[in-house]
C-alpha cells in the first residue's frame, strides 16, 4: 500500500479527531466531566500523529525551533487521561483529588527537563556545558513510559473485567462499548511496544502501522462512538428525570380472584410482595433481572414463582416483567418531559438490554412499535 495514502488517512483522522474532541468539549449532547477525559485523550492522540508527520516530512528542518515539540513524551500523558476516563465512566462520582494528580508527575518532569534541554539545543537561550546526563535520562524515560503504559492497562483491565458497578445507568446497561474501546487501547500499546522492538533489529519505519490503528480508533469513535455517547447522555438525563418524577399512578396488574393449588393467604402474601417490589422498587428496570433473582428475593422456589404468576395473570415470568417495562415506557413516551430523548434510550432505561428486545417486547404487548404508539396518541 502506498504510504502517501496512509498519510492522507492519518490527516483525515486528525481532522475527525479534532472535530470529535470539540464536540465533546462544547456540545450539550456529549459534554460531561467523564467525556472531558476522553476528549483530552483524543487530542493527545492527535498530537502524536502530528509528531509523526512532522518527522517524516522534515518540518523541523524548515522550522528548527519547533523541534522541541518532538521531545515532549506524550506517551507519559496519554495513559493517565485514559485511566481517568475509565474510572469516571465506571464511578461517575469520582473526584480528581490531589493524590491522583501525582500520576501527572512523570509527564511534568519530562516536559520540564526537555524544555531545559531544548532551551539550549533548539533556542540557543543558554549553554549547557555538561550534557552527559541527557542520554541516560532519555533511556530511563523511554523504559519508564513502556512500564507505565503496561501498568495502566493492567489497572484498567481489573476495573473493567474484575469489578462491576451497577449503580449508574451508563454502566448498568452494558460494558461492551467501554470494553471495545479498551481493546483498541490495548492494540495501540502492544503495537507501539512491538514496533519499538522490531525497529531495534530492523531499522525501517514501521510506525505507520501504529498510526493506522490509532486513526482507526478515531474513525470508529467518530461513527459509532458519537451514537453511544449521545445515547449514554440521554440515559443519564432520563434517569435523573425519573428520580425526580412523583409516581401518581400505579400499574394495574391482572390478578384473578381465584384459589390455586396453594392456600389463598399464602399466594396473596407472596403475590403482594412481588407487586410491591416491582411497583415501588422498579426492579424490572434491571436488564439482568432473572427468575432466580426474583425467587430468591421472595424466598420461594423458581417453579412456584412461575406457577403463581401464571395462575394469577396468565403470563410467563418474562411476559410479566415485559408488561411492567412496557407500562414504564408508555408513561415516559406520553410525558412531554421526555420528548427530547431517543426512543431507544427510554427503552433501555425501562430495563430492556437491546434495541431488538425493546421493540419486539413492546410490540408483543401492545401490537404497536414504540414510535407507532407515540404517534397514535399524538393524533388522538
pTM to 2 decimal places? 0.66
Q: What is the pLDDT of residues 124-154, one digit of tens each?
A: 899 998 999 999 999 999 999 999 999 999 9
- C-alpha Rg value of the chain to the nearest Å: 28
Contacts by 9-15, CB closer than 8 A, 24 or more apart:
9/212, 9/215, 10/49, 10/52, 10/53, 10/211, 10/212, 10/215, 11/53, 12/215, 13/49, 13/214, 13/215, 13/218, 13/219, 14/46, 14/49, 14/50, 14/215, 14/218
Interatomic CA distance for residues 29 and 64, integer angstroms: 41
In this structure, what C-alpha cell is assigned to residue 345? 434510550
For residues 210 and 297, state if they share a domain: no
Q: What is the pLDDT of residues 92-113, one digit of tens each?
A: 778 888 889 999 999 999 999 9
Out of 1-10, 107-116, 364-373, which region has the weakest mean confidence (pLDDT)? Answer: 1-10
- Tell which of 185, 209, 242 closes a domain: 242
- Tell which of 242, 260, 295 closes a domain: 242
For residues 169 and 278, state if they share a domain: no
For residues 198 and 312, state if they share a domain: no
For residues 30 and 84, state if they share a domain: yes
Out of 71-80, 168-177, 230-239, 309-318, which region has the weakest mean confidence (pLDDT)? Answer: 168-177
- Which CATH number fits the domain that encloses residue 333? 1.10.10.60
For residues 253 and 237, state if they share a domain: no
| Domain total in the chain | 2
In this structure, what C-alpha cell is assigned to residue 342? 431517543
Around Cβ 253, how many Cβ atoms within 10 Å? 18
Residues of the chain with pLDDT > 90, as a percent, come to: 36
Residue 163 has what pLDDT? 67
Interatomic CA distance for residues 125 and 230, integer angstroms: 49
- Tell which of 210, 242, 274 closes a domain: 242
Instruction: Tell me the pLDDT band of 27, cut-offs 50, 70 and 90.
Output: confident
| 94: nearest Cα among 171, 161, 19 | 171
- Which CATH number fits the domain that encloses residue 62? 1.20.1070
For residues 238 and 271, state if they share a domain: no
For residues 358 and 227, state if they share a domain: no
Residue 76 has what pLDDT? 95
Residue 213 has what pLDDT? 77
For residues 166 and 295, state if they share a domain: no
For residues 153 and 264, state if they share a domain: no
Q: What is the pLDDT of residues 186-218, one digit of tens each?
A: 888 888 888 878 877 777 767 677 777 777 776
Which residue range forms the structural domain that includes residue 362?
248-379
240 close to 338: Cβ distance less than 8 angstroms: no
Residue 224 has what pLDDT? 65
For residues 108 and 182, state if they share a domain: yes
In this structure, what C-alpha cell is assigned to residue 339? 420528548
Who wins on pLDDT, 377 or 29?
A: 377
Interatomic CA distance for residues 299 and 248, integer angstroms: 30
Q: What is the pLDDT of residues 51-85, one digit of tens each?
A: 888 888 888 888 988 888 988 999 999 999 999 98
For residues 232 and 258, state if they share a domain: no
Does residue 279 carry a pLDDT above 70? yes
Does residue 170 carry a pLDDT above 60? no
Task: Return the ∠ at Cα 376 (arms to 374 and 378), rounded to 5°.
Answer: 70
For residues 223 and 343, state if they share a domain: no
Around Cβ 41, how many Cβ atoms within 10 Å? 21
Amino acid at each position: 500500500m502506498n504510504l502517501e495514502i496512509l498519510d492522507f488517512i492519518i490527516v483525515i483522522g486528525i481532522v475527525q479527531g479534532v472535530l470529535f474532541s470539540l464536540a465533546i468539549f462544547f456540545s450539550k449532547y456529549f459534554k460531561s466531566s467523564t467525556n472531558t477525559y476522553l476528549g483530552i485523550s483524543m487530542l493527545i492522540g492527535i498530537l502524536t500523529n502530528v509528531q509523526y508527520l512532522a518527522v517524516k516530512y522534515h518540518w523541523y528542518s524548515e522550522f528548527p525551533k519547533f523541534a522541541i515539540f518532538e521531545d515532549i513524551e506524550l506517551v507519559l500523558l496519554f495513559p493517565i487521561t485514559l485511566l481517568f476516563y475509565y474510572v469516571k465512566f465506571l464511578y461517575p462520582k469520582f473526584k480528581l483529588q490531589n493524590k491522583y494528580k501525582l500520576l501527572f508527575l512523570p509527564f511534568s518532569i519530562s516536559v520540564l527537563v526537555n524544555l531545559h534541554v531544548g532551551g539550549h539545543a533548539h533556542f540557543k537561550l543558554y549553554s549547557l556545558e555538561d550534557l552527559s546526563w541527557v542520554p541516560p535520562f532519555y533511556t530511563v524515560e523511554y523504559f519508564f513510559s513502556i512500564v507505565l503504559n503496561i501498568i495502566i492497562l493492567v489497572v484498567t483491565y481489573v476495573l473493567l473485567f474484575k469489578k462491576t458497578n451497577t449503580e449508574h445507568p451508563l454502566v448498568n446497561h452494558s460494558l461492551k462499548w467501554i470494553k471495545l474501546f479498551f481493546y483498541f487501547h490495548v492494540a495501540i500499546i502492544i503495537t507501539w511496544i512491538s514496533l519499538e522492538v522490531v525497529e531495534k533489529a530492523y531499522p525501517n519505519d514501521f510506525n505507520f502501522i501504529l498510526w493506522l490503528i490509532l486513526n482507526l480508533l478515531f474513525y470508529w469513535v467518530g461513527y459509532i462512538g458519537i451514537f453511544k455517547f449521545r445515547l449514554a447522555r440521554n440515559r443519564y438525563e432520563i434517569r435523573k428525570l425519573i428520580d425526580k418524577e412523583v409516581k401518581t399512578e400505579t400499574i394495574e396488574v391482572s390478578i384473578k380472584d381465584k384459589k390455586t393449588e396453594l392456600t389463598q393467604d399464602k399466594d396473596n402474601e407472596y403475590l403482594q410482595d412481588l407487586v410491591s417490589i416491582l411497583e415501588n422498587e422498579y426492579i424490572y428496570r434491571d436488564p439482568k433481572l432473572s427468575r432466580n433473582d426474583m425467587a430468591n428475593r421472595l424466598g420461594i422456589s423458581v417453579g412456584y414463582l412461575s406457577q403463581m404468576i401464571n395462575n394469577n395473570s396468565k403470563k410467563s415470568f418474562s411476559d410479566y416483567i415485559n408488561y411492567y417495562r412496557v407500562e414504564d415506557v408508555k408513561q415516559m413516551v406520553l410525558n412531554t418531559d421526555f420528548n427530547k430523548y431517543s426512543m431507544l434510550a427510554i427503552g433501555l432505561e425501562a430495563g430492556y438490554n437491546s434495541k431488538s428486545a425493546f421493540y419486539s417486547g413492546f410490540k408483543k404487548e401492545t401490537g404497536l412499535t414504540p414510535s407507532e404508539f407515540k404517534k397514535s396518541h399524538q393524533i388522538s
